[in-house]
A and B are shown apart, each in its own frame.
Chain A
């Protein structure tokens, strides 16, 4: 358990509304990631962060933005939600202690856009 929590755990929202998902970690990890998981696709990277205020895009970043103002919090914002963004969203950290390449995941947020 890498001390990762996500909120909310479930959300239903309407098309066109902004939505913010929160990832919180308690172990001071530098690297944090946001993924989405959809049937028939592997986990796909949306955005990642390599430090406070240091973020970059992943492979499916269109329509999403992120912010990291504190080490422990990584926020994912859907600027104007669309039905194609209905998905399960996972936050992850990379444990850079030791050789440090494995990722640990939060419990996920199930988002439905109607």
Chain B
């Protein structure tokens, strides 16, 4: 069964304290792995797509990496405005997207 597990469920960081979020996945025939950011009361906002093991993508303080079993979202020197829930999802086709339950990140000033 296709599955996505994110850890930790919640994370509190001091401003400038780098860390990583984990997304472990099981899917038959990975077509793509996605990271989203979701702010309270809003829809998920697309961040990255990763397609194959070894691939990396960067955007400002965020860097996403992919292996055959998991993906990491590295946050370097976070700021309070990085506080949000980060969602991971995988797809094996055009309609089936499996989402994790997210990691709630709080960055303290």
Contact = CB atoms under 8 A, between A and B. Distances in A.
Interface residues of B, number: 25
A104 interface: yes
A41 B102 CA distance: 9
Contacts of A45: 95-97
Contacts of B101: 40-42
Contacts, number: 59
A35 B96 CA distance: 12
A60 to B, nearest CB: 12
Given A31-B94, A101-B49, A102-B34, A42 B42 contact: no
Interface residues of A, number: 25
A61 to B, nearest CB: 12
Contacts of B91: 101
A107 B34 contact: no
A94 B49 CA distance: 13
Contacts of B87: 42-43
Nearest to A91: B43
Contact of B95 (A33, A105, A107): A33
B44 A43 contact: yes
The 4 closest A-B pairs by CB, nearest first: A42-B99, A105-B43, A43-B99, A101-B32
Interface of A: 4, 31, 33, 40-45, 48, 50, 56, 58, 90, 92, 94, 99, 101-108
9 contacts: A4-B43, A41-B101, A43-B87, A101-B31, A101-B32, A103-B46, A103-B89, A105-B45, A107-B43
